[in-house]
Amino acid sequence: MTPFDSFKNPDLCRALLGKLEAALDKPMRFMEVCGTHTVAIFHSGLHSLLPSQLVHLTGPGCPVCVTHESEVAAFIELAGKDGVIVATFGDLMKVPGPGGANLKKAQAEGARVEVVYSPFDALALARDNPASKVVFLGVGFETTAPAVAATVKIAREQKLDNFLLLSFHKLVPPALRALLADPFMSIEAFLLPGHVSAIIGLAAYKFIEDYHVPAVIAGFEPVDILTSLLLMVEQRKKGEAKVVNGYPRVVPDAGNPKALATMYEVFKTSDALWRGIGAIPDSGLVLADAYAQCDAFKVLDITLKESKPLPGCRCGDVLKGILKPNECPLYKKVCTPANPVGPCMVSTEGSCAAYYKYQL
């Protein structure tokens, strides 16, 4: 018995499901904005146990899935440069860019692409390959960005001049704002991401209250998820729409000021491209001017080029909650984990991959 088993307690889950059922007087469409929630809701069986009135939408919470085609094209351009070693997390390897190109294919054609498990592994690569430029691909939300920022600081302190970063880090709150501002959006509540919230805290989401949409930070065990869903549904019943912390054992209301300070020392915000959504103001992180010598964009002259969406792929609509994965015409027919057409089928946290794995 571990301390976490109580957060999986079946009797408690049944009781919470009963309360949820009783609190729902009409249908409610909620969106989770975290790839880990997507998987946790399926893995725990909650997807099939939730009251039918509670409609589960997956949002733009999988960092690999929201990486834009133009950004993938930049990775591939980078991998083709002489004297460059690309260091990346493995889930980016098969993300399709323009024309179906990806890093895996580039590697097969001779590009030096190394899969790493931590940005610190990329530092070791830079140390071991002083004649090459080692470029770490920075993809991820506020959860990942502070560790990458710390890595950049260490590289500078250790004078590892051949360590560079190509940053496509993205920020969650501006994406939520963009979704809420879309007149075609029909999201009635948000289940907010526990990991991201542990860094940014509660105040970063306060603007959601202006849209009269309840939003609850949630953990990842079944009891955590059900408790937060209940907090969300009860708010609507009472006519409230507040941002609430449903995961206080991990998420301090103030977030993690030290991690935020490191992140904003190394990065500054910029507009960013999100797959299927387009440009969102101030939703990205690029290296601050003081760290320009680590910036692969500047050192290796990388620019983002316009690229077209993948033909037939509806990832954009899936990421906006407009379409469920199994409503995409390519789902399971053409697009499978073995032959992914879009990034939502590539990443283990992608909603199309989750639907496929759990047989929907």
Interface residues with ligand SF4 (CB under 6 A) are: 313-315, 318, 325, 328, 330-331, 335, 341-342, 344-345, 352
148 Cβ contact list (under 8 Å, min separation 6): 119, 136, 138, 140, 165, 167, 169, 266
Residue with tokens 């991401």: 193
CB of 168 vs ligand SF4, minimal distance in Å: 19
- Closest residue to bound ligand SF4 by CB: 342
311 Cβ contact list (under 8 Å, min separation 6): none
Pick the closer one to ligand SF4 by CB: 97 or 146: 97
Task: Identify whether the C-beta of residue 168 lies closer than 8 Å to the C-beta of residue 139.
Answer: yes
CB of 48 vs ligand SF4, minimal distance in Å: 20
- Secondary structure E strands in the chain: 28-32, 54-58, 84-88, 113-115, 133-138, 163-167, 169-170, 189-193, 215-218, 243-245, 267-274, 278-287
CB of 188 vs ligand SF4, minimal distance in Å: 23
Whose CA is closest to 223, among 3, 1, 2, 10?
A: 10
Pick the closer one to ligand SF4 by CB: 229 or 352: 352
CB of 291 vs ligand SF4, minimal distance in Å: 34
CA distance 151 to 126: 12
CB of 276 vs ligand SF4, minimal distance in Å: 9
Whose CA is closest to 233, among 7, 65, 20, 13?
A: 20
CB of 316 vs ligand SF4, minimal distance in Å: 8
Pick the closer one to ligand SF4 by CB: 263 or 318: 318
Pick the closer one to ligand SF4 by CB: 42 or 247: 42
Pick the closer one to ligand SF4 by CB: 145 or 318: 318
Pick the closer one to ligand SF4 by CB: 49 or 360: 360
Task: Identify whether the C-beta of residue 207 lies closer than 8 Å to the C-beta of residue 231.
Answer: no
